[in-house]
Amino acid sequence: MSNIVGVQNGSSHSFFNMSKTRIVILGAGPAGVGAAWQLVKRGKAEVTVLEQRDDVGGNAGSFELSGMQVDYGSHRLHPACEPRILEDLRDLMGDDLLSQPRHGRIRLQGRWIHFPLKPQDLALRLPLSFSTGVAIDALSKFVRGKVDKNGHETFTSVLENGLGPTICRDFYFPYAVKIWGLPPEQLSATQAHRRVSAGSLGKMVRKILSIVPGFKTPGSGRFYYPREGFGQISRAIANEARELGADIRTGSTVKKLELGNVCRVTYENGGQTYTVEADHVWSTLPITVLARITSPDVPRSVVDAGSQISYRAMVLIYLVVEQPQWTEFDAHYFPEADIKLTRLSEPKNYSSGNGPDEKTILCGELPCMVSDEIWNATDEDLGELCRESLERCGIPVTAPISKVVTKRLAFAYPIYKEGYEEFFNIQDEWASGLDRVLTFGRQGLFAHDNTHHALAMAYGAVDCLDDAGNFSMDKWTEYRSEFAKHVVED
């Protein structure tokens, strides 16, 4: 059996030592590079990673702009990270993994409130009508039911029963429309359970108290962030994996996955087509994409189900501002419906001022759908939209803006539309039934997850592979049950 087949122009290069289990990983986001690292670190497999972009990290990556590393949106490594993973990252990155205080703010009814919410905000900063409404909701909570009048949970019923109408009406519901593009009543209850970490007044109070001396919990009010941008995490992992023998090939677009006695992955790189054989294929691609590239033909029911599953896209707007710092805050959140941005971050404030002394960069996040008006807008128009939004909020950019750059993410958030579970389960059952193929990671499991969750999936997958190359689906099923409990950390 050859290592490489079907190479154009007669070129070839070896990927695998044939004496070891051969695994091809599709995608080099945190889940993909994390799995590659652990596989070679534990000596379990020879690994090749195929990544479409020119760098690793996926949506959790970084790129250079005007002498500064900036991220694809706002990213943090949360203290909730599994201890063994956090210990590995600390060993790998050393002093470059900074521990930073949370210092953001939310605009609520025209006022800026610290985020995460602080106890003094409850007494001094919240609008009176909002505070009064929350108090009334709290007093009436004990007579509200756990589900809606039809006995069926929805995004709306879960949050209204947990947080009360005031918080939902003035914060979560308008924010939901902006992020997912649907009215809250059209969203699944799963969206509330997995996306809103403080899903009840009690949880919200506990989160607030967690930063108060005497009640403070370890890691509360802080996060980890790499000195050279969030993508440094994936780059450090990838570099270590390469040192240990992993072959990580960027600029490689996967075109086809053929199943048979061996798995065959066809991809394009540098204008040539290659096919690599493997004992296992681990995919972090969106599960809908995996169904489109797999051969033999995928059942029609699976293809049809994929058309019923959708992702929210995102346009990221970067303003290069000619001043050392714009504000002291790391991120600004905009739940109000009349402001199109959902969040704006200042990467320099995440990394303790690392970057050029004379300039800073702002990153505005604008959810959309692929090919809609926002997706197709010019950089100039998007930059003006961002600038106008900030001016309307009373925080104008007064220094010169020397450059506007945009990035577009087609798969930013999975949309948990009411009833989506039926269609996802069809695709998930199909993928789970494929011989020697594993789908995992944020995109592969259609999950609203943080980076530490994606890394947990990577570690879990490697745990399920024994030294002889046998993958335990029973053990993976147990991990999947744990992954289903993941709740996004904001």
pLDDT digits (tens, 9 = 90+) for 423-434: 999 999 999 999
Distance, CA of 192 to CA of 146 (rounded, Å): 13
The whole-number average pLDDT for the span 269-298 is 96
Query: What's the Cα-to-Cα distance from 288 to each of 312, 407, 429, 444, rounded to whole Å?
Result: 14, 22, 13, 8
The answer to whether 222 and 210 have CB atoms below 8 angstroms apart is no
Please give the pLDDT value at position 305.
Answer: 96
Residue 220 binned pLDDT confidence (cut-offs 50, 70, 90): low
Q: Is the pLDDT assigned to residue 447 strictly greater than 70? A: yes
Distance, CA of 128 to CA of 131 (rounded, Å): 5
Omega before residue 296 within 30° of 0, cis: yes
Q: What percent of the chain lies above the pLDDT cut of 90?
A: 73
Nearest to 286 by CA among 422, 425, 445, 408: 445
pLDDT digits (tens, 9 = 90+) for 304-357: 999 999 999 999 999 999 999 999 999 999 999 999 999 999 999 999 999 999
Please give the pLDDT value at position 123.
Answer: 61
Beta strands of 206-271 (E only): which ranges?
A: 222-226, 247-249, 252-258, 263-269
Exposed/middle/buried for residue 140 (C-beta within 10 Å: 0-12, 13-18, 19+): exposed
Mean pLDDT score of the chain: 88
Q: Is the pLDDT assigned to residue 358 strictly greater than 70? A: yes
- Characterise 423 by phi-psi region: left (phi > 0), alpha (psi -120 to 50), beta (else): alpha
pLDDT digits (tens, 9 = 90+) for 174-204: 999 999 999 999 999 988 887 665 544 455 4
Distance, CA of 334 to CA of 179 (rounded, Å): 11
Residue 415 binned pLDDT confidence (cut-offs 50, 70, 90): very high
The answer to whether 225 and 345 have CB atoms below 8 angstroms apart is no
Taken in order of first residue, the domains within the chain and their CATH numbers are 4-60+230-309+418-483 (3.50.50.60), 117-209 (1.10.3110), 311-414 (3.90.660.20)
The Cα angle at residue 44 between residues 43 and 48, in degrees rounded to 5: 95
Query: What's the Cα-to-Cα distance from 146 to each of 150, 160, 303, 331, 421, rounded to whole Å?
Result: 11, 9, 36, 34, 21
Residue 83 binned pLDDT confidence (cut-offs 50, 70, 90): very high
Nearest to 52 by CA among 249, 246, 291, 282: 249
Q: Is the pLDDT assigned to residue 441 strictly greater than 60? A: yes
Q: Is the pLDDT assigned to residue 3 strictly greater than 50? A: no
For the four alpha carbons of 41, 42, 43 and 49, in that order, the dihedral sign comes to negative
Please give the pLDDT value at position 2.
Answer: 34
